[in-house]
Amino acid sequence: MGPDDRTATHCPYCALQCGQWVGPSGEVDAREFPTNAGGMCQKGWTSGALLAHPQRLTSPLVRTSREAGFTETGWDDALSGVAGRLAALRAEHGPDSVAVFGAGGLTNEKAYLLGKFARVALGTSQIDYNGRFCMSSAAAAGNRAFGVDRGLPFPVTDLDDADLVVLAGANVAETMPPLMSHLTGARLVVVDPRRTPTAERAIASGGLHLAPRPGTDLVLALGMLHAAVVDGHLDLTYLDERTTGFDDVWATASQWWPERAERVCGVAATDMRTVVGWLAESSRRYVLTARGAEQHAHGVDTVAAWINLSLALGLPGRPGSGFGTITGQGNGQGGREHGQKSDQLPGYRHITDPVARQHVAGVWGFPRPRSPGPAAARSSSSTPSAVPAGRGRCWSSGPTCWSPRPTPAPSPSGSTRWTCSSSPTCYPARRRCAPTSCCRSPSGRRRRGP
């Protein structure tokens, strides 16, 4: 097989999308690409085996009823049959009788066309994709804090020169092995209840493995944020110029001094302070969350707390530093960006926003919006909080039994000021500060424990 017989493509599995060559019979070889640099994991090396599997379908199969067997047919007949059935269902039961479910394995182009097909051709509001569970917590927290649902806002090659990387809820050594080649020069901190291979690598790098009790990730993040404030690690200039709402966040984090957090989450207070000190003192530092932090009943709060810690230390928006969420499936990020989510049109435009709907209608060539949206009674609670102009928003609503805050006024486009966004869950709280310490709020006011 010569080079001209191969097709340059990408591994279809995880979000690294490693470059690979695929031959006409399914032969796979690694290809030089920034994310994998000529290497692949076992999933990539064996991905071509599916192309030549004897049970792989190469022609459409149809059946006249659920009890009948399948018979092979041509593509024209199959597509005509599907289109006729969809039209009949819509005519008899209405457009919402047909639902569309996409996946993060689709390319950007396919994700865009699937969303347009559902909303325009079918006229259904019943569209979603598998990223709804996978990364919805990260998406909601990102919208609160930054005004946009963006997983990883920098290329993974930026991690090559990192001094410190905190991985919260990620076991990339097993789930995304090629990513580890970008972390060889960094000190790693892994937050995971299990002693995973990634945690082993963290210890070997001179870093730490923080093993919180399952379900206490939020307490750990709040304890570390408390340490950042009390130990003098806040980037006050950054907070003043580029964020809003941090005093509200501190009203919650002040209750979780590290020693108290240790009693709940099991991570030593000294380790919390050590990691915060490393983050504050390193010049190139990153905080990355993944499914372990996100897939909780209160995953939005947990991701928001990690975002708040990153904002408190001035990471996002600076060269060589940042916050991001590690996408799971191949193009889960593209699925959200291009309109597969039930509540989003292409370009992160919210489906309840009349201006966004009108814009998309114009792009699609319709004089008025034709994208079905949620019922009017639900629309007011569906719109994500806008970020005040030029700032990020620190989001906090008190220490117990969270209820949503009012939605701020919409911000102009191009906002670069972010929102600290934390909504702690129902953990008991009795003091605002450690009884033996005097806590200074970011605004300069001193707060004492009872």
Q: What is the DSSP letter of 118?
A: I
Please state, in angstroms and rounded to a whole number, the distance separating the CA atoms of residues 258 and 226. Answer: 7
- For 82-238, strand residue ranges (E) read 100-102, 127-129, 164-168, 187-191, 208-210
Per-residue confidence (pLDDT) for residue 370, from 0 to 100 = 65
Per-residue confidence (pLDDT) for residue 376, from 0 to 100 = 36
Q: What is the DSSP letter of 305?
A: H
Q: Chunk the chain into consecutive blocks of 10 residues (it has 450) and report each block's average pLDDT, rounded to whole numbers.
A: 78 87 89 90 88 88 92 95 94 94 88 92 90 80 85 90 97 93 95 97 97 96 98 96 93 96 98 98 96 88 96 94 87 83 87 90 80 50 43 48 32 46 40 37 40
Which two three-digit tokens encode residue 270?
């000294």
The domain limits of the chain are 3-52, 153-324+386-393+416-448
Per-residue confidence (pLDDT) for residue 419, from 0 to 100 = 58
Per-residue confidence (pLDDT) for residue 237, from 0 to 100 = 95
CATH number among 3.40.50.1700, 3.40.50.720, 3.40.228.10, 3.90.79.10, domain 153-324+386-393+416-448: 3.40.228.10
pTM of the entire predicted model: 0.80
Please state, in angstroms and rounded to a whole number, the distance separating the CA atoms of residues 348 and 149. Answer: 7
Residue at token pair 């490693």 = 18
CATH number among 3.40.1170.60, 2.20.25.90, 3.30.428.10, 3.40.50.300, domain 3-52: 2.20.25.90
Distances 16 to 110, 117, 175, 291 between C-alpha atoms, Å: 19, 28, 11, 15
Note the Cα 193 to chain centre separation in Å.
20
Residue at token pair 């790693």 = 188
